[in-house]
Structure 1
Amino acid sequence: MPSNVSPKNQRPVATREGRALQKGQQTKAAIVDAALGLATHIGLEGLSIGALADVTGMSKSGVFAHFGSREELQISVVREYHVRFEHEVFYPAMSAPRGLPRLRALFDNWMKRTSIEIDSGCIYISGAVEFDDRTGPVRDALANSVLTWHAAMKRAIDQCKELGEVGADVESEQMLFEIHGLILALHYEARFLQTPGSLGRATAGFDNILARYAARPAG
């Protein structure tokens, strides 16, 4: 049966619904931002609907309505952290030429972010400590994010091999393991032990890795 309501009269309803949806998305984004700020200091396990309600000035039911569970809140924080990590570390490095310039750009950007996180914390590292012996969606979200980053670093290493900048017999996984180990050591030394010069040592360690795995002239 054809409707007696003209399309013109339907537009205000659609507009109101669109605005309500947009406002809801903005509110959820603000909650996730606040949750990420908390998680970098107190960990993912420290997050709670009540704590976020206090920080955002919302009611507990208002915060809960956007997520439905504490677990979904934690997963949303992991995803947001991953998005920011990509925008700060991965995407800027893609403008560098393939090979060693891009691999170094990825590491340098990673170091810049790490130097900031020394005063707060890294979700990937603190989350691994919290969820290493657990199963479930939060651990899966964390692990998948880290593995995605590992895959990007491995691609950059493989490209170095293809361009003849790294030895053809070099195992990419081993090189990646050592580079990742530098970041983990940096967090431990700079954040926990507060060892002076940790950033410089990590940079020197990266240079040593590149020198050790560099392609050698034939003969």
Structure 2
Amino acid sequence: MSPRRSVAEALGTRSAILNRSVAIASAEGLEGLTIGRLATELDMSKSGVLGHFGSKEALQLAVLDRAGEIFRAEVWEPALPVKPGLTRLRVLCEAWISYLEREVFPGGCFFVAAAHEFDGRRGAVRDAVESRFDAWRGRLRKETLRAVDAGELPEWTDPDQLVFELLGLLMALNHAIQLHHDTQAAGRARHAVQTRLGG
């Protein structure tokens, strides 16, 4: 076996582990990931799974990274081509609603679930979850400020308040879909965004 093929196969195996881990963790939590379960489901040895990450915490952090890649592709990248400011903020909200509505992750929003699981804890995984929420709030705040500067939102708009409301709205949508299986929730969320942002 050539070194190049060996590296490619190792990367493929690591990717398969991460994909299965994301699916499990989105429904059962990051603590629901066990090396034994992954080994059984992927027909690997425990040492084979662990060898790609080194520890359960390293696996959890890698899973957060993979989930972040998926979220970025689903929610952030569709908004990149559009005009910054209010237009981009509206597109972000619609992509976000669609991502929840289509249940891209089996257990709903991966990061909402992870936040509920780790918000009262300490450690690297909890800090990684918080940093992703901080980064997302920062993106939303930046587009809000751009919209205010362009006169697309009133000059008295409080960007932190608006971002707080949008985050709360989308978390409520995730809750309504996952817990209540509310088929009207996405429509209500779209109405709420339109009421808040216009358009």
The TM-score normalised by the length of structure 2 is: 0.94
Residue 94 of structure 2 aligns with which residue? 108
Instruction: State the superposition RMSD in angstroms.
Output: 1.7
Q: Distance in 2 between matches of 1:56 and 1:199?
A: 35
Indicate the residue corresponding to 2:122 in structure 1. Answer: 135
Of residues 57, 72, 97 in structure 2, which corresponds to 1:86? Answer: 72
Higher radius of gyration, 1 or 2:
1
Q: Which amino acid aligns with 1:99?
A: G
1:123 partner letter:
F
2: distance between equivalents of 1:18 and 1:98? 42
Say which is worse superposed, 113-122 or 66-75, in terms of deviation: 113-122
After superposition, the C-alpha distances for 1:77-98 in whole angstroms (9 at most, x for unaligned) are: 1110001111111012011112
Alpha-carbon offset, residue 199 of structure 1: 0.7
Task: Give the corresponding residue for 2:19.
Answer: 33
Structure 1 residue ranges (4+ consecutive) displaced by more than 4 angstroms after TM superposition: none
Identity %: 34
The answer to whether residue 158 in structure 2 is matched with residue 161 in structure 1 is no
User: Residue 85 of structure 2 is aligned with which of 99, 102, 108?
Assistant: 99
1:200 aligns with 2:184: no
Distance in structure 1 (CA, Å) of the matches to 2:23 and 2:68 = 14
Partner of 1:8: none
Tell me the secondary structure at the aligned position of residue 133 of structure 1.
Answer: coil
Give yes or no for contact 1:52–1:63 (8 Å, CA) kept in 2.
yes
Q: Distance in 2 between matches of 1:31 and 1:124?
A: 19
Distance in 1 between residues matched to 2:22 and 2:182, nearest whole Å: 27
Segments of 5+ residues of structure 1 without an aligned counterpart are: 1-14, 215-219
Deviations 1:38-62 (A, max 9, x none): 1112111100101111111111110
1:170 matched to which residue of 2? 157
1:64 to 35, 46, 50: 50
- How big is each residue's C-alpha offset from its partner over 1:116-138, in whole Å with a ceiling of 9 and x where there is no partner? 22853222111111111111111
**Paired letter, 1:127:** A
Which whole-Å CA distance do the structure 2 matches of 1:170 and 1:18 have between them?
55
Paired residues in the alignment total 198
Provide the rounded CA distance (Å) in 1 between the counterparts of 2:8 and 2:176. 43
Is this contact kept in 2: 1:79–1:141, CA < 8 A?
Answer: no
Stretches of structure 2 lacking an aligned partner (at least 5 in a row): none
Letter of the 1:156 partner, please give it: E
Residues in 1 aligned to 2:97 and 2:180: alpha-carbon distance in whole angstroms: 18
Q: Is the 8 A contact 2:35 2:56 kept in 1?
A: yes
Choose between structure 1 and 2 for higher RCO, CA contacts under 8 A separated by at least 6 residues.
Answer: 2
CA distance in 2, matches of 1:23, 1:189: 41
Q: 1:123 aligns with which of 110, 113, 128?
A: 110
